Amino acid sequence: MKSACFVALIALLFAGMAACNKAQTPPATAADGNPADGNLAPAEQTAPADSGGQPVSEEEAVSTSDAPPPLPEYSQPPTPADNYLWTPGSWGYANAGYYWVPGAWVMAPWLGALWTPPYWGYQNGAYLLHGGYWGSHIGFYGGIDYGFGYPGRGYYGAYWNHGQIFYNRTVTNVDTATVRNYYAYTAPRGPGNRVSYQGGNGGTDARPTAQEAASLREPRIPPVAAQLQHAHTAAADRGQFATPGRQQPASLAAGRPLETEYRSPASLPPSPVQARPMPEILTRPNERPAMPAARPQAQPESRPMPMARPAEPAARPTQVRPAPESRPQPRPTPPEEKRK
Instruction: Show the CA angle centred on residue 190, arms to residues 189 and 195, nearest 5°.
Output: 160
Residue pLDDT, tens place only, 182-194: 999 999 999 999 9
The answer to whether 225 touches 233, Cβ cutoff 8 Å, is no
Task: Note whether residue 161 is domain-resident.
Answer: yes
Supply the pLDDT for residue 300.
46
Q: What pLDDT shows up at residue 42?
A: 84
The pLDDT profile of the chain, 340 residues, written as one tens digit per residue, is 445 545 454 454 444 444 444 445 454 433 467 899 999 988 655 444 443 333 334 344 688 999 999 999 999 999 999 999 999 999 999 988 999 999 999 999 999 999 999 999 999 999 999 999 999 999 999 999 999 999 999 999 999 999 999 999 999 999 999 999 999 999 999 999 999 999 999 999 999 999 999 988 888 999 999 999 999 999 999 999 998 877 789 999 999 999 999 999 999 987 754 434 444 333 333 343 343 444 445 444 445 454 545 555 555 555 545 555 545 555 555 555 444 4
Q: What pLDDT, on a 0 to 100 scale, did the predictor assign at position 291?
A: 38
CB 272 within 8 A of CB 219: yes
| 60 in a structural domain | yes
DSSP SS3 for 39: helix
Instruction: DSSP for 154-175, please give it.
Output: S--SEEEETTEEEEETTTS---
Say if 279 falls within a structural domain.
no
Helix (H, G, I), strand (E, B) or coil at 199: coil
138 within some domain = yes
Total count of domains within the chain: 1
Rg (CA), the chain: 41
Structure confidence at residue 237 (pLDDT): 96
Q: How open is the CA angle 215-218-219, to the nearest 5 degrees?
A: 125
Given a contact cutoff of 8 angstroms between Cβ atoms, the answer to whether 131 and 140 are in contact is: no
Task: Report the C-alpha gap between 19 and 27 in whole angstroms.
Answer: 15
Phi, psi (5° rounding) for residue 122? -90, 130
CA distances from 68 to 49, 195, 196 (A): 26, 9, 7
DSSP SS3 for 207: coil
pLDDT score at 334: 55
- Kindly list the strands in the beta sheet with 182-183, ordered across the sheet, starting from the edge strand earlier in the chain: 158-161, 164-168, 182-183
17 is a domain residue: no
Q: So what's the pLDDT on residue 144?
A: 98
Phi, psi of 150 (to 5 degrees): -110, 85
Handedness of CA 190, 23, 257, 140 (dihedral sign): positive
What is the rounded distance in angstroms from the CA atom of residue 329 to the CA atom of residue 337? Answer: 19
**The pLDDT value given to residue 62:** 86
Q: What is the pLDDT of residue 316?
A: 55
pTM of the model: 0.71
pLDDT of residue 329: 54
By residue range, what is the domain housing residue 65?
36-240
Q: Does some domain include residue 294? A: no
* Burial of 252 per CB tally in 10 Å (0-12, 13-18, 19+): middle
- Sign (positive or negative) of CA dihedral 205, 227, 74, 257: negative
Query: 49 lies in a domain?
Result: yes
What phi, psi does 85 have (nearest 5°)? -120, 150
Q: What is the pLDDT of residue 7?
A: 46
Do the bridges between strand 84-87 and strand 104-107 make them parallel or antiparallel, or are there none, so unpaired?
A: antiparallel
Res 27: pLDDT: 42
Point out which residues pair with 166 in neighbouring strands: 159
